[in-house]
Amino acid sequence: MVQEARDTGERRAVGIRLLEAKPDLGEDLAPDELAQARKHVVALLDGIDPGPWEPKRRYAPDPAFFGLLVIDGMLARDVELGGRRCSELLGPGDLLRPWENEADVASVPTEAAWHALEPTRVAVLDGRFARVACRYPELVSRLIGRTLRRSRWLAILLTISSMPRVDARVQALLWHLADRWGHVTLDGVVVPARLTHEMIGRLVGAHRPSVTTALSELTRAQRIKRLPQGWLLIGDPPAAPAASARAAVLATALPG
């Protein structure tokens, strides 16, 4: 990472070499191009304090603005419709364009709000960054992949929220977050996401008391454990219901 000594009033612009912070973005580059890209593909680094976040007041994107890439920390996007609120969680590696709001053109009115759940840093992929990054199509393709990946994750969350049992929803959510940001330890998989019961409820489409009950049941069953930095997932991921049903049918069909 590098810092740029550029005067901006009281704030000092900090730069980040993107391929040092997120090496996977350069995996498709040839060795000589990768060396160049590491040096030249630099973005401004911006910090977001915990609490409500109003990105429309913070950024004035031009037509070449790619978006914001989360380096570390965690953000939540809350959408309210018909008195119900659901959330989307974004963390390291996610690409977002928070100044765009589909509610401006939607037939059914919605309200959207952003919150930083913890101190968060984002790389500002503005027009200046885009003009340099476009010299490396493989890098741009990787960034586009981040947006498609986010849409697939939303589909997974939608499926989780349709599961009939709240405890199954909560367990599936935590394993989904483990796939995104978890790391393996001797005790299990640690999910570094400090989520309140209310936030978990908004992610899985359940009320907070039901989430509290589900978490208690999973804790008693030694499937999860609360940690200061998030959650510990113990044992194997839950089997898909369809796969479990097929296994049961096969077991009964086998000669005993």
Same structural domain, 97 and 202 = no
Task: Give the residue from 160, 182, 200 where a domain finishes.
Answer: 160
- What pLDDT sits at residue 109? 74
Structural domain range at position 173: 164-253
Residues 6+ apart with CB under 8 A from 238: 168, 171, 172, 175
Kindly calculate the radius of gyration of the chain based on its CA atoms and give it in whole angstroms: 21
Same structural domain, 127 and 240 = no
Same structural domain, 185 and 238 = yes
Task: Give the residue from 140, 160, 180 where a domain finishes.
Answer: 160
Same structural domain, 64 and 188 = no
Number of domains in the chain: 2
What is the CATH number for 50?
2.60.120.10
217 beta partners = none
Question: 3-class SS at 238?
Answer: coil
Same structural domain, 22 and 100 = yes
Higher-pLDDT residue of 230 and 60 is 230
Does 23 fall in a domain? Answer: yes
pLDDT band, very low/low/confident/very high, at 245 (cuts 50, 70, 90):
very low
**pLDDT, tens digit, 9 for 90 and up, residues 81-124:** 877 889 999 999 999 998 877 656 667 777 889 999 999 999 99
Distance CA 234, CA 15 (A): 39
123-136 as b/e: b if 16+ CB within 10 A:
bbbbeebbeebeeb
Question: Residue 10 above 50 pLDDT?
Answer: no
* Closest to 129 measured CA to CA, from 17, 4, 243: 17
Same structural domain, 155 and 176 = no
CB 165 within 8 A of CB 211: no
Same structural domain, 183 and 198 = yes
**pLDDT, tens digit, 9 for 90 and up, residues 188-234:** 999 999 999 999 999 999 999 999 999 999 999 999 999 999 999 99
DSSP string, 139-191: HHHHHHHHHHHHHHHHHHHHHHHT-S-HHHHHHHHHHHHHHHH-EE-SSSEEE
Same structural domain, 91 and 215 = no
Task: Give the residue from 136, 160, 184 where a domain finishes.
Answer: 160
